[in-house]
Amino acid sequence: MAPKKRQGEAPPRPVVGDPTDPQGMVVLLNQFLDWLRARNYAERTVECRQAYLAEFINWAAVRGVACPSEVTRAVLERYQRHLYHYRKKDDQPLSFRSQHNRLLPLRSWFKWLTRNRHVTYNVAADLELPRLEHRLPKHVLTQSEAETVINQPNVTEPLGVRDRSILEVLYSTGMRRVELTGLQLYDVDADRGTVMIRQGKGKKDRMVPIGQRALSWIGKYTCDARPTLLVNPSETTLFLTADGVPLAKSYLSQLVSGYVTAANLGKTGSCHLFRHTMATLMLEGGADIRFIQAMLGHANISTTQIYTQVSIRQLKQIHEATHPAKAAREEREGRQADDGHPACDLPDATSEDASSTGDHIVEPRPNARIDHDDTNA
């Protein structure tokens, strides 16, 4: 069955080359993509590999390389340098992750080419990929900021009700944008308070809880707004555009990003901003990290553990309660209270502030003479 057409989806990147040459780039690329589909790779994965390999094939064609057998290690290294020096329309370079994502499909493609004897040996086997940076999320919303964004849509209009429902679902479940665009009417179980996410990342299904407020907005959308958007009565996709077709991922990203910008919070982001926010706020609220892992659909808990670094509130509480400087300060204040002297505002010599600078804090003696005129000392 052909995939549903979604508004805002870009057509596949055209590939330069001879479509009749059995050993040419175009024919062997299509065979490789068919091989991926036959092994039940997610269509999103196939599309990404097709796009990135098309970029390489078009780059190679300009340089007179028309067949995989003509690709050498030097050609791949030259392409890698091209990616490093490439500048986007905004004059920004490709991130190391973007460079990594474009080079990785070359490895798998040439591995397949070697196995099927289209090339003599795998020139990409030991191609060194850029090291990925493990960065924390750029922005995370507070609870009040999340509520501000969610309240941006104009709910007096059908599209506003739809958009409010979308924001509520993202905030309540933390699902990915591709998972939200794929939601069907029958995936929402209001009685059990759950949503079935089908064929998520890694082609895995999972069921996640959803809050009552989000369910209420979904109910309002399906009863009042969705019927006004529906064109094909047999369409079962939950969220539709004004033209009655399922939302494309890029369309959804622009939609959510627009509301984040309109909230005027000084923060940027889109669907993943709500994913980060949900995980961080729930972790700060005391949720077990294994529950967060199940909610987000992470295969490896190490991916989820990034939110333990983002969630600083609990770390600050533990730091304040257990740091030895606090015990020393309380002991010192207790001694001063017993001696009848008021607590001094100066930091203790054993405090982290003093120890970090190497300065020694000397308390004034009760009978010591203090020269109040020397204010510039």
pLDDT of residue 336: 65
Supply the pLDDT for residue 57. Answer: 95
Q: How many CA atoms lie within 13 A of 158 on its CB side?
A: 15
Residue 122 is assigned to a structural domain of this protein: no
188 and 251 part of one domain: yes
150 domain-assigned: yes
Q: If you average pLDDT over every residue of the chain, what do you get? A: 83
DSSP code for 121 = S
* CA dist 245 → 35, 121, 248, 251, 313 (Å): 30, 46, 9, 12, 42
Q: Catalytic annotation on 275?
A: yes
| Residue 73 annotated among the catalytic residues of the structure | no
pLDDT confidence of residue 195: 93
What pLDDT does 2 receive?
44
Catalytic residue among 162, 176, 226, 276: 176
Residues 67, 153, single domain; the answer is no
Burial class, 222, CB count within 10 angstroms (exposed 0-12 / middle 13-18 / buried 19+): middle
Euclidean distance between CA atoms 161 and 222, whole angstroms = 10
Annotated catalytic residue, options 52, 221, 259, 307: 307
CATH number at residue 95: 1.10.150.130
Is residue 63 annotated as a catalytic residue, yes or no? no
Question: pLDDT by residue (tens digit) across 178-187?
Answer: 999 999 999 9
Same domain, 302 and 189: yes
307 is catalytic: yes
Residue at which a domain ends, from 267, 289, 315? 315
Higher-scoring residue by pLDDT: 9, 161: 161
- pLDDT value of residue 334: 67
| Pair 149, 273 in one domain | yes
Q: Do residues 211 and 292 both lie within one domain?
A: yes
Q: What is the pLDDT of residue 310?
A: 61
Which of 156-170, 280-294, 301-315 has the least mean pLDDT? 301-315
> Model confidence over 230-248: pLDDT tens digits?
999 999 999 999 999 999 9
The domain that contains 158 carries what CATH number? 1.10.443.10
- Same-domain pairing of 149 and 295: yes
For the stretch 145-159, pLDDT in tens is: 999 999 999 999 999
Residue 1: inside a domain:
no
Last residue of a domain, one of 315, 336, 370: 315
Reported as a pLDDT band with limits 50, 70 and 90, residue 289 is confident
pLDDT of residue 235: 95
C-alpha of 33 from chain center: 26
Q: Active-site residue 176, yes or no?
A: yes
Q: What pLDDT, on a 0 to 100 scale, did the predictor assign at position 374?
A: 39
Segments forming the whole domain that contains residue 90: 25-115
Residues 156 and 298 in one domain: yes
8 Å CB contact between 7 and 251: yes
In a domain, 52, yes or no: yes
Q: Which amino acid is at 210?
A: I
Choice between 85 and 312, residue whose per-residue pLDDT is larger: 85
Is 100 among the residues known to form the active site?
Answer: no
Average pLDDT over residues 83-98: 91
Find the catalytic residue in 198, 201, 267, 326.
201
Same structural domain, 97 and 190 = no
Of all residues in the chain, what percent carry a pLDDT higher than 90?
A: 55
End position of a domain, from candidates 315, 331, 347? 315
- Least confident window among 12-16, 112-116, 327-331, 348-352: 348-352
pTM of the model: 0.62
Element (H, E) at 74: helix 73-85
Is 362 inside any structural domain?
Answer: no
Q: Over 50: is that where the pLDDT of 192 sits?
A: yes
> Is the same domain home to 100 and 180?
no
Please check whether residues 245 and 311 belong to one and the same domain: yes
At 97-138, the pLDDT tens digits run 899 999 999 999 999 999 999 999 999 998 888 887 666 567
Catalytic residue among 272, 326, 329, 332: 272
CA distance 121 to 73: 11
Tell me the range of 127-131, 258-262, 339-343, 351-355 where mean pLDDT is highest: 258-262
Q: What is the pLDDT of residue 327?
A: 64
Instruction: Tell me how many domains the chain contains.
Output: 2
- On whether both 160 and 243 belong to a single domain, the answer is yes
So what's the pLDDT on residue 83? 95
Q: Is residue 167 part of a domain?
A: yes
Residue 211: inside a domain: yes
Taking residue 150's Cβ as centre, other Cβ atoms within 10 Å add up to 22
C-alpha angle 101-104-108 in degrees, rounded to nearest 5: 145
Contact predicate 156/212, CB 8 Å: no
The SS3 of residue 258 is helix
Q: Which residues pair with 328 in a beta bridge?
A: none
For residue 333, pLDDT beyond 80: no
pLDDT at residue 364 greater than cutoff 50: no
148 lies in the same domain as 284: yes
Tens digit of each residue's pLDDT (9 = 90 or more) over 6-42: 555 556 677 878 888 999 999 999 999 999 999 988 8
Identify whether 202 is part of a domain.
yes
